[in-house]
Chain A
Amino acid sequence: MGDVQTAEKVKLKVLHAGSLTEPMKELEKIFEERNPEVDVQLEAAGSAKTIRKVTELDREADVVASADYSLIPHMMYPKYANWTIRFASNQIVIAYLDDSKYSNEINQDNWYEILRRGDVKFGFSNPNDDPCGYRSQMVIQLAELYYNDSSIYDDLVASNSNLKFVEKDGNYILEMPESENINPNTEKLMIRSMEVELIYGIEEGEIDYYFIYRSVAKQHNHKFVELPDEIDLSNESFSDKYSKIKVILANGKEVSAKPIIYGITIPKNAPNKEYAEKFVKLVVSKEGREVFEKLGQPPVKAFADFPENLPESLKDI
């Protein structure tokens, strides 16, 4: 009996960025409780890959959510979508555990002094492979400007690897070497390809601190130092400040620092528009916002770039 029902259910395909996995799972539960005739099918991948599933692989999707809202207009307009709602943010934090060295001392004002100490080890992911990795470099470089201490990046990263920011007309550019050439001093730095690989590094006690998204730290019950808005890539009103920092990846791609803001849209070819709208509505509702808050992805005021293109049912957000 149950099987028959499952077979007849409407399948709502939600393609989303990997870092949205936990909140999306909760929203799926809430949504299915309320709409028992719907089976929400979540599919996680990197943001760019998620969008390419629709634009290049011609996959039918009802909802697309990206960790970088700007990818939706950039990659999907005008053929596959024509609006984006920004709904949540994230930020880079320095996560740690109780038995990390000096964990009782570290705070927003002294974290770079603590990381400088000879017996402290910390980690970040490979900027060539992972956005969290290049964002971590941006944060550390922004710290130099914010704390007015021009040797933070040098002491923490440059003197322990081949990574180095060069100033040019008030902008700071990090030209990434090829990965085999990063040459980290592994007595001080732990680098892994992807940010989630650092989790075992901290849990096995290899490192004391690591640069990570707030949501990941929270979902793994790691403690974390929240950094000032001016440097942690969370706040849109500091976009201009952030944009002074640039990383050129080894594959030639250039990325400028910008706030980490999630965006969501319904592709034009969505098979179940009505439920898709309901789902997006749940994401931006008070209830949805609470889910994101709880899981460490602070919601931002829902904001649509082209409100006139929104479906009727979403116009009142």
Chain B
Amino acid sequence: MKLSTIFALLSSILVLFVILPVFSTFTTQFSDLNGLVQTFQDYDVWRTILFTAYAAFLSTLFAVLFGTPLAYTLARTEFPGKNVVSGVVDLPVIIPHVVAGIALLSVFGSKGMIGSISPVKFVDALPGIVVAMLFVSAPFYINTAREGFQSINPRFEQVARTLGATQFKVFFTVTIPLTWRHIAAGALMSWARAISEFGAIVIIAYYPMVASTLIYDRFLNSGLQASRPISILLILFSLSVFITIRVLLWNGRKNESS
């Protein structure tokens, strides 16, 4: 057997493994189309999903604002303790999200280091949801953006510098345009990860309710049948945003190369 055949076989197992549960969620729903239609028409469910998308959007904004300089620094400069910083960036991926929620609460809670002096309230409020989302999703942005910065040759920047451009000008007119696709892809991943967060959010803010909390709550008190249509709605919504942006990015690339 050829290596490529073996690889194709093994790959398809993993792809199937991911697709099957999602597929079965959809097919099981076919026996209850009524429930699906009802959920599609449920204003409160939509409100919750859009609110979640909005909170995830804010979280992504912060990730881009603070994560881009960090990603660039990690990609371009050597400094003592760089490995430690890299490790810190990955930390949220490693720790259980419930633990993250508790840790965040101890900082952003009313008696926490930041929560006690902040005029903004975090517990059971939008800012709390945003910090929980940011905590778990920031690594997805930073690591993707870092890869982007690493993939461009520093010589482009050096050339621009020797032509007299300031560091700022080089960053915004040379570096960013060359990496914007990585930045967009990272932001998208980070947004999607934020939307799907549950464990950390539910600790710091059960209300206002985000989509994943709603789905779990419905599962808890009304069972699978009641929570499934909301899950489907959320999947379809996230997927359509995801695909739309991906297609825009992909088309952009095609136009550039032609």
Q: How far does the Cβ of B198 sit from chain A's closest Cβ, in whole Å? A: 12
A180 to B210, CA, bound (A): 9
Looking at the complex, which of B8-16, B106-114, B237-245 is the stretch in contact with chain A?
B106-114
> Among B124, B203, B218, which residue has the most Cβ atoms of chain A within 10 A?
B124
Query: Closest CB-CB distance, A223 to chain B, in whole Å?
Result: 18
Flag if A251 contacts B222 (CB, 8 Å): yes
Residues of B within 8 A of A193 (CB): 202, 206, 217, 220
Q: Majority SS of interface residues in chain A? A: loop
Quick check: is B233 within 8 A (CB to CB) of the other chain? no
| Contact present for A180 and B109 (CB under 8 Å) | no
User: What string of 1s and 0s marks CB contacts (under 8 Å) between B199-230 and chain A?
Assistant: 00011001111000010011011110010000
Q: B45 interface residue, CB < 8 Å from A?
A: yes
* Chain B interface residue number, banded: 20 to 34
B contacts with A: majority SS: helix
Residues of A within 8 A of B45 (CB): 180
- In the complex, what residues of A have CB within 8 A of residue B124's CB? 184, 186, 190, 206
A192 interface contact, C-beta 8 A: yes
Flag A148-189 by CB within 8 Å of B: 1 or 0 each. Answer: 000000000000000000000000000000111111101100
Question: Considering the chains assembled together, what is the distance between the CA atoms of A183 and B124 in angstroms?
Answer: 11
In the complex, what residues of A have CB within 8 A of residue B48's CB? Answer: 180
Docked complex Cα distance between A184 and B209 (Å): 10
Are B123 and A179 in contact, with the CB atoms below 8 A? no
B221: contacting residue among A182, A183, A250, CB under 8 A: A250
The answer to whether B209 and A179 touch across the interface, beta carbons within 8 angstroms, is: yes
Instruction: Write out, one digit per residue, whether chain A residues 186-224 have a CB within 8 A of any chain B CB (1) or not (0).
Output: 110011110001001000111000000000000000000
- When the two chains form their complex, are residues A204 and B217 in contact, meaning their CB atoms are under 8 A apart? no
Is B103 an interface residue when CB atoms closer than 8 A count as contact? no
- B105 at the binding interface (Cβ < 8 Å): yes
Minimal Cβ-Cβ distance residue in A for B211:
A180
Shortest CB-to-CB span from A207 to chain B, Å, is 9
* In the complex with contacts A178-B44, A206-B109, A206-B110, A186-B226 CB distance below 8 A: no
Note all chain A residues with C-beta closer than 8 A to B221.
128-129, 179, 249-251
What is the CA–CA distance of A249 and B221 in the complex, to the nearest angstrom?
Answer: 9
The 3 closest A-B pairs by CB, nearest first: A186-B124, A251-B222, A205-B111
Cβ contacts A to B, 16 pairs, < 8 Å: A128-B221, A129-B221, A179-B218, A180-B209, A182-B207, A186-B123, A186-B125, A190-B123, A191-B207, A193-B206, A193-B217, A200-B102, A204-B109, A206-B110, A206-B124, A251-B221
15 other A-B residue contacts (CB within 8 Å) besides A180-B47, A193-B202, A251-B223: A179-B214, A180-B44, A180-B209, A184-B207, A186-B124, A191-B206, A193-B217, A193-B220, A200-B102, A204-B106, A205-B109, A205-B110, A206-B110, A206-B124, A250-B222
Which B residues fall within an 8 A CB radius of A? 44-45, 47-48, 102, 105-106, 109-112, 121, 123-125, 202-203, 206-209, 214, 217-218, 220-223, 226
- List the interface of chain A (C-beta within 8 A of B): 126, 128-129, 178-184, 186-187, 190-193, 197, 200, 204-206, 249-251
